[in-house]
Amino acid sequence: MALKNAFYAQSGGVTAVINASACGVIETARRHSDRIGKLYAGRNGIIGALTEDLIDTSLESDQAIAALRHTPSGAFGSCRYKLKGLEENRAEYERLIAVFEAHNIGYFFYNGGGDSQDTALKVSQLGERMGYPITCIGIPKTVDNDLPITDCCPGFGSVAKYVAVSTMEAGLDVRSMAETSTKVFVLEVMGRHAGWIAAAAGLAAESEDQPPHVILLPEVPFRKQPFLDAVRRSVERFGYCVIVVSEGIREEDGRFLSDSGSTDAFGHVQLGGVGPIIASMCKRELGYKYHCAVADYLQRAARHVASKTDVDQAYAVGAAAVEMALDGRNAVMPTIVRKRDEPYQWEIGCADLAEVANRERGLPPEYIREDGFGITDACRRYLQPLIQGEDYPPYRNGLPYYVRLKNASVPRRLGDTFTLR
Amino acid sequence: MALKNAFYAQSGGVTAVINASACGVIETARRHSDRIGKLYAGRNGIIGALTEDLIDTSLESDQAIAALRHTPSGAFGSCRYKLKGLEENRAEYERLIAVFEAHNIGYFFYNGGGDSQDTALKVSQLGERMGYPITCIGIPKTVDNDLPITDCCPGFGSVAKYVAVSTMEAGLDVRSMAETSTKVFVLEVMGRHAGWIAAAAGLAAESEDQPPHVILLPEVPFRKQPFLDAVRRSVERFGYCVIVVSEGIREEDGRFLSDSGSTDAFGHVQLGGVGPIIASMCKRELGYKYHCAVADYLQRAARHVASKTDVDQAYAVGAAAVEMALDGRNAVMPTIVRKRDEPYQWEIGCADLAEVANRERGLPPEYIREDGFGITDACRRYLQPLIQGEDYPPYRNGLPYYVRLKNASVPRRLGDTFTLR
């Protein structure tokens, strides 16, 4: 019997290091070419499997695959496409199995967040039932750091580093301008449900006079007066105030602040999300001149300032996924297990997908300072190791050299087409 | 007679490398301790001179001064405070001379943009007339790259590099998400009157399929329909569109597309918010899902990804300023003179402040692509060398190690106080 091929797909929002996981998967599979046939990637994630649009990674040179380690974003394309429950849209799962069967695929590596781990679990269950057993391994990835069990999620450490570095740098800027100009600086960061990214900005401060002076977390309901008091206090004590706000902060009634229809100082409806709302509130209520940055994709794409720890972990979970598959594990996800805070020591663990799927981990209460506007020492101890180390990409002509793969298609074998919902 | 002391001040918006110029000034002055006494810095720029709030840099260690080379923002504080014309507020100039006289200051080094060069020139003229001759040397600094005569302005190359790197990285992100999610990404960058920073994003593209697909420059009046056509074309051809927009773009009638209504101390309108306007226009008119980042201070503070060329030039103009003063030059500014494009060769030149003051240099027409949405090869040839080379700061615990000076005050000698306008 021919060797079973493998299928790898990237899912959801991409990160600075998801390609490092791809690199770990592909390099490890290549080292086991006696046991794994070809490694196919889904073009644009799971959609590539559903539409039988597969990429033949065996046509990429070893050098190109190695360069994935320092190339941000999803080299094969990703997608936001959640498979429904088995009962709701069984056709999608059956289609996946049909495509896998047509291409003799025996291994399914799915690199994503909670939803993706759930999909991997279901594919594993359905394959079994349909008489086409397939080894399904989830590979953790999310800048939101919200997967359970694993110490952290690859992708998060680099965003954390970017946000901490940017907060420190912009903070120095505001500090030097505050006497006559900008008194308040607002940085809006990602994190719709969990405040991990905003919390990471707290690493920039070694003492209370240093930025960020106020962190707004989605775990803490936004109350206007205590917030304004904290800003005024900071400006009065230190001359300026740096605020880091998570995009997902909510009012006490649970509504997102960014959905609240707030207007800026001039009565214009805000277009730019929660950062400008917070900034103009400081201007309107306290009279402070402000600047506001919205990091958006820059934060999760910033491979140029990635955390070496994060890159190493992203690669390691990719490599471990293949090793686990070859060890006969199924429906599992490699995890990061913290052995020690300082110096940081970690190793690869293994979690059942059933334990991981669809469970979110928010910032625990003991990581949030009592006033709600900062992080505790416990939080700092947790976060600090994750941004350790630099891992610069190579540069050419002043710019990072990021690889673009050939991404050649695998010839289709199924006659029909599949229409996505 | 005691050696004359020197005064150094930082002016206007700070940059990732203005402290490298300070480092050049101080280290060079220290090497000439037989000819220059102490070097004082103005706390918060020229305000420090007016209020006799001087910092004694001689109390900083050689090591701390050396670390300025890799520390962003203004280590002594900067300010937005433009001295008026001599006739309008002669008292301010007389006050400067009085403070200089009280502290035996014979050299005035002013590190800033066009307005600051104008101030340095006036101080030089007035000192002469008041019988207290003072050597005034301007040191170029502006992220806007809008000073005349000099090949470029220290501070610009690092913003250019940050913007090009960020555009490249976010572009890869959008590309991998575009199939099911974000089709349009907008990055708003600085540049009130001149499009140099937005133009620099063009360095990220090596071919027309690569981001940025559309650059919106203040030199090109914004016309909605051609813009929307360009965005649609890009999405149809490449699957997505990355737009880099200068904060200063204007409608055909000359109004800023985004005018927040408030003005800064120089009477300049405070801008911000054009990115979200452009992004939501793409959604409203074309139906594309978008993301939008506003780089704001992050771009000019990003010492972690500074251009080595820029750092070297910033240091060099600081060092040259001191050498020029000691050579008996007055009312001049060191410039960068380009000798060759590739490999880039430059040397230090010298311009009269009268030729520099209050003159702005925009992007020349031959640097703007015919359709107005991109840059030409000539522009690329000009910009490319300015982002060459990396010059990473040292890191501790995963974060850049940026120095904080002691900034000890010089005892006041004048009994009176001076009230700022």
A5-142+305-357+391-400 sits in which CATH class? Answer: alpha beta
Residue B1: what pLDDT? 58
Q: Which two tokens stand for residue B272?
A: 């911000």
The reply, when asked if residue B247 is annotated as ligand binding, is yes
> Do A317 and A154 contact (CB within 8 A), yes or no?
yes
A 20-49 → B contacts, CB under 8 A = 44, 47
Average pLDDT over residues A57-81: 97
Which residues of chain B from 330 to 359 reach within 8 Å of chain A, CB to CB?
none
Q: Which residues of B111-145 are buried (b: 16+ CB within 10 A; e: fewer)?
A: bbbbbbbbbbbbbbbbbeeeebebbbbbbbbbbbb
Percent of chain A at pLDDT exceeding 70:
96
Query: Which of A72, A169, A388 is closest, CB to CB, to B172?
Result: A72
B13 is in an annotated binding site: yes
Catalytic residue, from B115, B144, B312, B391: name it.
B144
Q: Do B177 and A387 touch (CB under 8 A)?
A: no
Q: Which of A165, A276, A399 sits opposite B165 (nearest CB)?
A: A399
Mutation choice for A interface testing from B14, B165, B169, B305 by most A CBs within 10 A: B169
Does residue A300 belong to the interface with chain B, where contact is any CB pair within 8 Å? yes
Give the span between the Cα atoms of B399 and A204, in whole angstroms. Answer: 8
Whether residue B399 is annotated as binding a ligand: the answer is: no
- Paired tokens of A370: 């009592």
Domain B5-142+304-357+391-400 = CATH 3.40.50.450: yes
B165:A291 CB<8 A: no
The pLDDT of residue A86 is 79
Answer yes or no: do B73 and A297 touch at CB < 8 A.
no
Number of Cβ pairs closer than 8 Å across A and B?
Answer: 221
CATH superfamily of B156-303: Phosphofructokinase domain (3.40.50.460)
Give rounded-to-5 percent helix, strand, coil for chain B. 40, 20, 40
Question: Domain limits of chain A?
Answer: 5-142+305-357+391-400, 156-301
Q: Which residues of A are annotated as part of the binding site for diphosphate?
A: 13
Residue to mutate among A53, A177, A244, A303, with most B CBs inside 10 A, is A177
Report the distance separating Cα A220 and Cα A239, nearest Å: 26
Taking the Cβ of residue A150 and every Cβ of chain B, the question of whether any pair is shorter than 8 Å is answered with: no
Q: What is the mean pLDDT of residues A367-376?
A: 98
Picking from A252-256, A351-355, B160-164, B221-225, which range would have the lowest pLDDT averaged per residue?
A252-256
pLDDT interval class at A416 (50, 70, 90): confident
Q: What is the chain A residue with the closest CA to B160?
A: A398
Chain A residues close to B170, C-beta within 8 Å:
296-298, 301
Do A5-142+305-357+391-400 and A156-301 agree at the fold level? yes
User: Is B310 assigned a catalytic role?
Assistant: no
- Please give the mean pLDDT across all residues of chain A: 94
Answer yes or no: is B143 a known binding residue. yes
Angle at CA B140, nearest 5°, toward B134 and B142?
A: 135
Tell me the pairing of strands A39-42 and A5-10.
Answer: parallel
Model pLDDT, residue B96 = 93
Segments in A207-255 forming alpha helices (H): 224-238
Yes or no, beta carbons of B77 and A179 under 8 Å apart? yes
Q: For chain B, say whether A70 makes contact (Cβ under 8 Å).
A: no
Contact A166, B250 (CB under 8 A): no
A401 part of contact set with chain B, CB < 8 Å: no
Those of residues 118-147 in B touching chain A at CB distance below 8 A are: none
Listed range (A106-120, A265-279, B150-164) with the worst mean pLDDT: A265-279
Residues of B in contact with A398 (CB under 8 A): 161, 164, 203, 307, 384, 387-389
- pLDDT at position B415, please? 79
- A292/B272 Cβ within 8 A: yes
What's the distance, CA A338 to chain centroid? 19
A338 has which bridge partners?
A346
Question: Which two three-digit tokens encode residue B94?
Answer: 């007389």
Asked if pLDDT for residue A320 goes beyond 50, the answer is yes
**What pLDDT shows up at residue B352?**
97
Name the residue among A302, A259, A307, A282 with its Cα closest to residue B187. A302
The CA-atom distances, in angstroms, between B60 and each of A155, A406, B67, B92 are 40, 55, 11, 29
Closest to A78 (Cβ–Cβ): which among B13, B177, B399?
Answer: B177
**Smallest Cβ distance to A292: which of B174, B294, B384?**
B294
- Separation between Cα atoms, residue B109 and residue B120, nearest integer Å: 8
Identify which of A58-67, A79-88, A359-368, B83-92 has the greatest average pLDDT: A58-67
Contact A27, A10 (CB under 8 A): no
CATH superfamily of the domain spanning A156-301: Phosphofructokinase domain (3.40.50.460)
Least reliable range by pLDDT among A113-127, A205-219, A380-394: A113-127
Q: Which residue in A has a C-alpha nearest to residue B158's C-alpha?
A: A398
Confidence (pLDDT) at A269: 46
* Gap from B363 CA to chain A (nearest CA, Å): 21
Query: Is B142 within any annotated ligand binding site?
Result: yes
Contact list, B80 vs chain A (CB under 8 Å):
177, 180-181
Return the minimum-mean-pLDDT range out of A179-188, A237-246, B78-87, B376-385.
Answer: B78-87
Residues A226-249: what's their mean pLDDT?
Answer: 97
A398 in reach of chain B (CB within 8 A): yes
- Of A49, A113, A117, A45, nearest in space to A79 by CA: A45
pLDDT at B142: 95
Low-confidence ranges of chain B (pLDDT < 70): 1, 259-272
Residues of A in contact with B174 (CB under 8 A): 297
Q: Tell me whether A269 touches chain B (CB under 8 Å).
A: no
Indicate the annotated binding residues of A: 13, 142-144, 190-192, 247, 297-300
Instruction: With CB atoms and an 8 Å threshold, state whether B204 touches A397.
Output: no
Tell whether B295 is within 8 A of chain A (Cβ).
yes
The answer to whether residue A203 neighbours chain B at the CB level (below 8 Å) is yes
Instruction: Map tokens 């004359």 to a residue.
Output: B4
Cβ <8 Å between B304 and A165 = yes
pLDDT at B259: 65
